[in-house]
A and B are shown apart, each in its own frame.
Chain A
């Protein structure tokens, strides 16, 4: 009699591999989880006795904290391992690290790695669910899911919305995840950036390309601003940060021709004044902090939905 919710995947590696039903299931579940974080006692016993390992080979505040809080609000034990403090600095291979962690019987592994494909590789050596928390320039599925949840909350539904993604598309795993997910959900995506920050052949992903910010955002329902990744900018792709800002920093002036209903989102961390101006960032259309709140609910939903599969495999 009880309706059930299941995902087609036992690992969350990419948005490309999720169906629209999967995405709806995750968003609906996350929507129900939001209330828990508003309680005085922000904890439910659902994952009591379960162990979640956060294995992060790249710096992160938001994502790692968000996964940790999500696990703890479900009563799981959460262990954080950062690349700098792990045995990989002693020369242990990624696969050996994962096999050793597996020998301690965790229930879910959350992985961030600077190499695209690392989480997918890990699934071959780890028999419990793996969640990709960002791999190289490939994908960052939980970020895309929280973006979709935030947009859906304000727009009612996703189908038919026009999204403009502005910034370093070439290096952005957030852009890649969202391009796949948004098209799965029936949205249209336009990417806006200087030619050097747009991958060759991106049209094959079904997106429009534009090199002018003012024109590009005119009909957008949602503007997603991406961070200029300082750590990846020594390749001569931009002549200078200031020049990038002159042409691509989103300011109130750009928004004067844009509908008041248009939402502005940014996956963080923000370089204030470089890709987005201070007044836009803190303005009424900006949902940057709502995204962070929704991130916890999305990650609680992923843990909840993936738990069943891990049981089936161990029993």
Chain B
């Protein structure tokens, strides 16, 4: 099993002919992901190392049966690419692009909510189901197949925690980056719901950070709906109020969105919170037993 991306994934990449788009599309394909098409308006008919390029997502879907899209286009065009993928009937749209205007994200989010397409990201590292498929920029070499589902707002922090878990012998069902923007297409709750239903996943680890209230909302959801053990980590205890810490969404506003409040909310609902990435892996050993 695993969630969202697997051997059934047929990927179309918007922005495949850009430098980053090409590099990561080919890396994803090397990993074993079925990259069936790319889209760059005006470059239809070309190919990227054998991957056919189309002018529109609609044409790519029609010709290749793509069912998942990865968006790699620059921020000012990204909202349009997401809406194009949705209009073409793509069910899962993974957006890596960082720096999309918040109002664009609001409109896209509100529109997608009315349909059935799922957006993951923007400003995220993508989704990796070890041994099955990698869509995005997660360095797959550090992860192996296993029973820990990991969902995070941050890229490199996910690698750090995933690596700590790997050193203790744990692998992952799926690793999902939901992204560091104020309007993520998918929330912790959306991903936890998927992991709860996934037979491969035996432990869920959520990795949050300052800003917003997604972690607090997840805490309530977990207490009411989740039977599997959940562990958490929160970054940003030392972040000063009013400063954006790298991610557009990572900001303590007044007294709202602090790491301490998030950790407290999770712990109040019985979710154990590691104080540093190493401690998360120690807690995983307590929950699942030693694997090495």
Are these two chains actual partners, yes or no?
A: no
